[in-house]
Amino acid sequence: MALPSPDDRPSTTPSGRPRANFPGSGLAKGLAVTLRTMTRRSVTAQYPDAQPELPPRSRGVIALFEENCTVCMLCARECPDWCIYIDSHKETVPAAAPGGRERSRNVLDRFAIDFSLCMYCGICIEVCPFDALFWSPEFEYAETDILELTHERDKLREWMWTVPEPPALDPRAEEPKEIAAAHKAAEKAAAAQATAEAAAQQQEGPQ
């Protein structure tokens, strides 16, 4: 398919105005925009006295909710900059019931992020299967020494309090699969309990 040549363009714009074809028309339009902008009064936010209004999904820093962390190491393995450092050890959990066997679990010792290397791609947050990492809009964490940009889990946990609440779900959206499965299991358990109680009442009736 052949492209139309400049000579085939209509002589009027879509609004019906005659199209300008004289040389330098684009430059004149650009200068007109510049002049209009120069005559407007500028509005400057006096930071830090006036805090900026950040969008709800701003990428400031990464916050850690360590109660959800299972030390699966997915975030550290998927990080393209290798800026996440995790240390852990194993602990033995005694059997919950007599005759059961002991189990081992990972205990988090260190979770640190080097923000001098982080490129804020968000891959660690996306791959975390247990929702232990979140975006925080906090951005005031500059340091005079680059070595101090490696923040440990205490600081990451402190930033957790600045994470905004998630947006409300669409009321017409489908129920999440996890919640639907939990409701179905609860209804099945309630039905089984009601059936057992009805059977017990029938057995007590003839006596």
Answer for the pair 19, 12: CB distance below 8 angstroms, yes or no.
yes
Residues 6+ apart with CB under 8 A from 162: 60, 63, 136, 137, 138
| Helix ranges (DSSP H) in the chain | 25-39, 74-78, 123-127, 153-158, 177-204
Q: Is the pTM of this model over 0.85?
A: no
pLDDT in tens, the chain (207 residues): 455 555 555 566 666 666 656 778 888 888 989 988 888 888 888 888 888 888 877 888 999 999 999 999 999 999 999 999 999 999 888 877 787 788 888 899 999 999 999 999 999 999 999 999 999 998 888 889 998 999 999 999 999 998 988 777 778 878 777 788 888 888 998 998 888 888 888 877 655
Residues 6+ apart with CB under 8 A from 70: 106, 130, 132
